[in-house]
Amino acid sequence: MYQFLCRTDLADESHESFIKNSQSKECDGVNIEKTSNGDINISRVEVTTEQGAQNIGKPIGKYITIDINPNASDRSQNIEAVAQQLKTELRNILPNSLNAPIMVVGLGNWNITPDSLGPKVVDQVYVTRHLFKLMPNDVPDGVKSICALTPGVLGITGIETAEIVKSVVQEVKPAVVVAIDSLASRKLQRVSTTIQLSNTGINPGSGIGNNRNAVSAETLGVPVIAIGVPTVVDAATLAGDCIDMIIEKEKLEWNLDDDKRDILEQVLAPTVLGNVVVTPKEVDTMIEDLSEMIANGINYAFHEDKVFE
Amino acid sequence: MYQFLCRTDLADESHESFIKNSQSKECDGVNIEKTSNGDINISRVEVTTEQGAQNIGKPIGKYITIDINPNASDRSQNIEAVAQQLKTELRNILPNSLNAPIMVVGLGNWNITPDSLGPKVVDQVYVTRHLFKLMPNDVPDGVKSICALTPGVLGITGIETAEIVKSVVQEVKPAVVVAIDSLASRKLQRVSTTIQLSNTGINPGSGIGNNRNAVSAETLGVPVIAIGVPTVVDAATLAGDCIDMIIEKEKLEWNLDDDKRDILEQVLAPTVLGNVVVTPKEVDTMIEDLSEMIANGINYAFHEDKVFE
Amino acid sequence: MYQFLCRTDLADESHESFIKNSQSKECDGVNIEKTSNGDINISRVEVTTEQGAQNIGKPIGKYITIDINPNASDRSQNIEAVAQQLKTELRNILPNSLNAPIMVVGLGNWNITPDSLGPKVVDQVYVTRHLFKLMPNDVPDGVKSICALTPGVLGITGIETAEIVKSVVQEVKPAVVVAIDSLASRKLQRVSTTIQLSNTGINPGSGIGNNRNAVSAETLGVPVIAIGVPTVVDAATLAGDCIDMIIEKEKLEWNLDDDKRDILEQVLAPTVLGNVVVTPKEVDTMIEDLSEMIANGINYAFHEDKVFE
Amino acid sequence: MYQFLCRTDLADESHESFIKNSQSKECDGVNIEKTSNGDINISRVEVTTEQGAQNIGKPIGKYITIDINPNASDRSQNIEAVAQQLKTELRNILPNSLNAPIMVVGLGNWNITPDSLGPKVVDQVYVTRHLFKLMPNDVPDGVKSICALTPGVLGITGIETAEIVKSVVQEVKPAVVVAIDSLASRKLQRVSTTIQLSNTGINPGSGIGNNRNAVSAETLGVPVIAIGVPTVVDAATLAGDCIDMIIEKEKLEWNLDDDKRDILEQVLAPTVLGNVVVTPKEVDTMIEDLSEMIANGINYAFHEDKVFE
């Protein structure tokens, strides 16, 4: 399930736009903090008031962006460093008390490589809820109760993903849901280099109005931490960006709907429009590395440190 | 999720044993019908009374075994022939009225090839429930509402499979559940050559007592059709069979528990005992063909014939 | 190994351009024949003279394009129909006498889905050369000697593909080499809908001058039939096409090298330039179907018809 | 290509047998050294004379066995430790002067998981030979020229593996060939826990007489280092072991050929005899880890240490 990122989907980019456009130095109701750790850059945005939410067009909540160095020379070291950073950020963003199990939800389609990130993370999470039921005395000290779900996608199940997640949440009653999803990015540079965390859930589509299909605290009744990684760019987005740049550069007076669509339909085959993605050739390795980073980050964040010593 | 077939798990074999041991020609409360269609042999067993259930150790219900010719020369023709046979048998075994959606459940682990049959069937089922919701006027005539679920396995989710299925059944309220599972067979000859259907659900383990973890009408509250295919033999079973044959042949007076376990532990590494399976080398092709047979059989059985013309 | 199709890489498109530009009805030294068979359109171009070769910019030889209906309703029937058409076309294009073995070469990288077509075809070819050596009396009547090779790609082997193929050709001495390759198309519409055959080999790059890395009769010393299928579009090509269309539409006076590159570098991340491809989401299924079509077409073409009855 | 290990295929086991049977403390012409490094046990056997070769039934040469702890708690650390050990052992066993390129050959079938170790290693080897040709001035200091080949298996190519390797060796003229292969073990305990190195090549089958199909210095004309890992046990071997143990335990006087075959044919389906393997369920993860260990070991051994700093 590719969730399409609007230009404003990254809270730090939204904040940047606001500052630029308003020519002020601060944004009321929004705190931002930028830091780095070795090769990794982190931006932490917190929307604290309704005014802030209006200013940058994002609901009240926390948004963290982790930027990975795509050219890290040592692959294993890089995976470990990002996993450790994720642990820190996840622990910061989590609700304070976590008595009931944590439920990791791997969104996406395991048969389509760039959409398989969520299911691949689930495969590597250290799942323990059943051990507490089957052999409670044998669970090592410091291990927490974690369970996981890979609900599939609408095209494979015929059931809205949120319906499946909600059903199982009602049965399992987790303290928090951590949902991982592949994203379609606006920018090729973001593909596989950005991990986004938020505590506002996943709101497919515009995010406006009530969304029955969201995976969020509102629909599930428990807190939701969303982890998203851009893994593709929609081909129509890429082509559209080209057109927009030329329009801007040449100050063309186009009817955006008609003239632009005309070009897009000539470039993209009409029959496949919307089903064509732009992706690095090495997408398999990319997804493998990302899933290891995120699964380890989750394992480190929820189980106590001594489990990994 | 390998469900371990006991010797008596195939109703037609149980019936055969009963006839042989009782030296009678018939089995009270059990009807059996054998037929064939080209290369395919079909046995249909119906347990009609409690007496019959006791006689062959299987609950009241219908059991169908489809035997495939493993050496069929034309792969595509063979797949189509088995799919057509499955259509016929599924239609025979189904409840009469099917107003609400059909839910196909693909049991098993998609990361372990011989256990991935269920999920692979789900990928090829013609799923339509969402079309009835999103574009009800555009659904072609004769298409029925089908949805699907791949719940995963306990080791990956930490949640009992039956818990997940039950949650989603309560939400979706299907008319019938069709559950597909890989089986661990007693006999190597059965691997990939037998498809079993029954309307008594899937009862993991011994089937004795109340089984909260069964995928059955009792636990789900809707009829369950089970489709099972042996895809592996447990290595301990294979080794045990060797030992049994020699004991019988040589009339050895062994303490079955101790002497036999002693040999098994020497042959099988103790650390891996129970996690080692015997499987054809060509297991990938085998699963691919079986999943196409079963998915097509399901598609043919539920949607009306005109959909495929 | 994506071989990049220039605009003129399809002989029938080159011919069309020539006719259009020269405003004549015929092209000297080039014969063209268009036909169809059910859903399948076939164009057969033969360049017969040096004048013809100059006219359309393609070496003397035969070029066949098979266009597949991408929306065929019955997947199995469509695969079989294309395989039968390929048989006919392959038999037409083959050298007359075939005494020594046929060698099928699957070019491309088996780890990158859209580039794995060649290796996947090889996996399904009915290979028999070793049977003639090991059990010559048991080979069924009508079966021909076929062998196969998947040489890998330069990035994995560090050896030019043509070097590997040439070495093995010198050892095996086949009568003909049939080389299958994934192509990068100019047009999204061509992706997965066009199969191209030619008897002029595969000439990576410009095709101008002596090419030591070609897989062709010149480098291998035996006839080469090339089968190519567009499976991706290079992202830079797609973006470039957008730009060209606007330049043409708006009659912009751009410095093509600088202005265009400027836009491309903004749209495509500079670091990934050249390694980003545009592909349908369902690329796995697409490659599976294409490989079955081509492998069966090869099997039908080389072994006698009675083998498949 | 599963090479079947005879009981005496591991030189250290052969040596042990000799010592036990001869009741001497030493074996003439054979030196043995056992050591350990953390969780890893290493045995280094050197056969120095023809007498030694006769004593333990192995050609003159060096044989190293690395035993891995299958229960290592930290997967990444374990992979790194084994890779480092492999580096040390490979450097010990290599010919002294290495001027020409090193050629890594990944034997086996990439479509059959337990047989795909060799090809998977090749995918992860840091291949550089083409860089020396295409951009010799840009190759970092300390990087050596490495190339690689995955020749496939007889059933897929119809060409003896040794024929393919030999052809390419004649073209590329490497200083040494490093051949990686999956092995069929006698013992389940050895599966995935033992890596064997030798400088005597890979001799499929009995190793008796001239073997045109060996991948060895004799057939290739360059030194060959073989790296083998048991990944399966043949099902017939497992069953045969059971029978042998009972025969020994009960001192049965069986006609080994007839009585034993009789049992085997009843347990193993005759049609599949020889194509059935015993393997851990988690074979995918197992092969992934092993291939990373071996590829990294090769990378560390051939390139200079500074490349990885």
pLDDT averaged over chain D? 85
Mean pLDDT lowest among A39-48, A182-191, C5-14, D277-286: C5-14
Any chain A CB within 8 A of the CB of D76?
yes
Any chain A CB within 8 A of the CB of C246?
yes
Question: Do C48 and C29 contact (CB within 8 A), yes or no?
Answer: yes
What is the Cβ-side half-sphere exposure of residue A103, based on CA atoms within 13 angstroms? 26
Any chain D CB within 8 A of the CB of C159?
yes
| Token pair for D119 | 């090809």
CA A76 to chain D, closest CA, distance in angstroms equals: 8
pTM, two decimals, is 0.86
More confident residue, D202 or D220: D220
Beta strands A224-234 and A176-185 are parallel
Any chain D CB within 8 A of the CB of B272?
yes
Section B39-44 average pLDDT: 93
- Whether the predicted pLDDT of D129 surpasses 60: yes
Measured CA to CA, the distance from residue D233 to residue B276 in angstroms comes to 10
Q: Which residues of B touch A127 (CB under 8 A)?
A: 155-158
Q: If DSSP codes are grouped into helix, strand and coil, which group holds residue B294?
A: helix
Beta strands B194-198 and B224-234 are antiparallel
Enter the DSSP assignment of D288: H
Section B260-271 average pLDDT: 71
Measured CA to CA, the distance from residue D116 to residue D109 in angstroms comes to 5
pLDDT averaged over chain A? 85
Phi and psi at residue A41, in whole multiples of 5°? -105, 135
Question: In chain B, what percentage of residues exceed pLDDT 70?
Answer: 91
Low-confidence ranges of chain C (pLDDT < 50): 1-8, 205-210, 272-273
Angle value at C-alpha D208, between D206 and D210, nearest 5 degrees: 120
Question: Do A101 and A85 contact (CB within 8 A), yes or no?
Answer: no
B124-127 own/partner pairs: CB under 8 Å, 24+ apart? B124/B291, B124/B292, B124/B295, B124/B296, B124/B299, B125/B295, B125/B298, B125/B299, B126/B299, B126/B303, B127/A155, B127/A156, B127/A157, B127/A158
Question: In chain D, what percentage of residues exceed pLDDT 90?
Answer: 50
Mean pLDDT lowest among B243-247, C284-288, D48-52, D273-277: D273-277
Question: Do B147 and B127 contact (CB within 8 A), yes or no?
Answer: yes
- pLDDT of res. A270: 54
Residue C173, Cβ neighbours under 10 Å: how many? 12
Asked if C282's CB is within 8 angstroms of A242's CB, the reply is no
Any chain C CB within 8 A of the CB of D129?
yes
Asked if D76's CB is within 8 angstroms of A80's CB, the reply is yes
Q: Which residues of A touch D308 (CB under 8 A)?
A: 74
- Whether the predicted pLDDT of B206 surpasses 50: no
Phi and psi at residue B177, in whole multiples of 5°? -110, 130
Neighbouring residues of B124: CB distance < 8 A, sequence distance ≥ 6? B291, B292, B295, B296, B299
CA C129 to chain D, closest CA, distance in angstroms equals: 5
ipTM of the complex: 0.87
Any chain D CB within 8 A of the CB of A76?
yes
- pLDDT of res. B277: 84
Q: What is the DSSP string of D233-252?
A: EEHHHHHHHHHHHHHHHHT-
- Whether the predicted pLDDT of B237 surpasses 90: no
- Whether the predicted pLDDT of D62 surpasses 90: yes
- Residues A185-199: b if buried by 16+ CB within 10 A, e if exposed: bbbbbbbbbbbbbbb
Measured CA to CA, the distance from residue B291 to residue B303 in angstroms comes to 18
- Model confidence band, residue D97 (pLDDT cutoffs 50, 70, 90): confident
pLDDT tens digit string along C232-291? 888 887 888 788 888 888 888 877 677 777 777 777 765 544 578 888 888 888 899 999
- pLDDT of res. B269: 62
pLDDT tens digit string along A9-30? 677 777 887 888 888 888 899 9
Q: CA separation (Å) from A29 to A49, A51, A112, C110?
A: 5, 6, 40, 52
- pLDDT of res. C3: 38
Mean pLDDT lowest among A204-213, B94-103, B166-175: A204-213
Chains that touch C (3 or more CB pairs under 8 A): A, B, D
Query: Residues, chain A, total?
Result: 309
Mean pLDDT lowest among A174-178, A251-255, D121-125, D136-140: A251-255
- pLDDT of res. D256: 67
CA C129 to chain B, closest CA, distance in angstroms equals: 20
Least CB–CB distance from B279: residue in D189, D191, D277: D277
- pLDDT of res. D212: 65
Please report which helix (H) or strand (E) contains residue B62, including its range. Answer: strand B61-67
- pLDDT of res. B212: 65
Q: Of B54, B166, B41, give the one whose Cα is nearest residue B103.
A: B166
Neighbouring residues of A281: CB distance < 8 A, sequence distance ≥ 6? C112, C115, C275, C276, C277
Measured CA to CA, the distance from residue B84 to residue B298 in angstroms comes to 9
Asked if D164's CB is within 8 angstroms of C157's CB, the reply is no
Beta strands C102-106 and C224-234 are unpaired
- Whether the predicted pLDDT of D16 surpasses 60: yes
Asked if C159's CB is within 8 angstroms of D130's CB, the reply is yes
Q: Which residues of D touch B243 (CB under 8 A)?
A: 242, 246
Least CB–CB distance from B167: residue in A131, A154, A168: A168
C55-61 own/partner pairs: CB under 8 Å, 24+ apart? C55/C18, C55/C27, C55/C28, C55/C29, C55/C30, C56/C8, C56/C11, C56/C14, C56/C15, C56/C17, C56/C18, C56/C27, C56/C30, C57/C8, C57/C14, C58/C8, C58/C11, C58/C14, C58/C200, C59/C200, C60/C200, C61/C198, C61/C199, C61/C200
Question: Do D161 and D153 contact (CB within 8 A), yes or no?
Answer: yes
Measured CA to CA, the distance from residue C274 to residue A280 in angstroms comes to 9
- Whether the predicted pLDDT of D210 surpasses 70: no
Q: Which residue of C has its CA nearest to B73?
A: C308
Question: Do C229 and C116 contact (CB within 8 A), yes or no?
Answer: no
| Token pair for D293 | 């260990």
Domain residue ranges in chain C: 3-308
Any chain C CB within 8 A of the CB of D173?
no
- Model confidence band, residue A204 (pLDDT cutoffs 50, 70, 90): low
Burial class (CB in 10 A: 0-12, 13-18, 19+), C97: exposed
Q: CA separation (Å) from B299 to A44, B102, D209?
A: 50, 11, 57
Asked if A281's CB is within 8 angstroms of C112's CB, the reply is yes
Residue in the structure block whose two tokens are 């599966």: D191
- pLDDT of res. B203: 67
Q: What is the DSSP string of C184-236?
A: EES-GGGTTTEEEEESS-B--TT--S--TT-BSHHHHSS-EEEEEEEEEEEHH
Q: Which residues of A touch D80 (CB under 8 A)?
A: 76
Chains that touch D (3 or more CB pairs under 8 A): A, B, C
Q: Which residue of D has its CA nearest to B247?
A: D246
Q: Which residues of B touch A123 (CB under 8 A)?
A: 111, 156
Looking at domain B3-308, what is its CATH homologous superfamily?
Answer: HybD-like (3.40.50.1450)
More confident residue, D99 or D270: D99
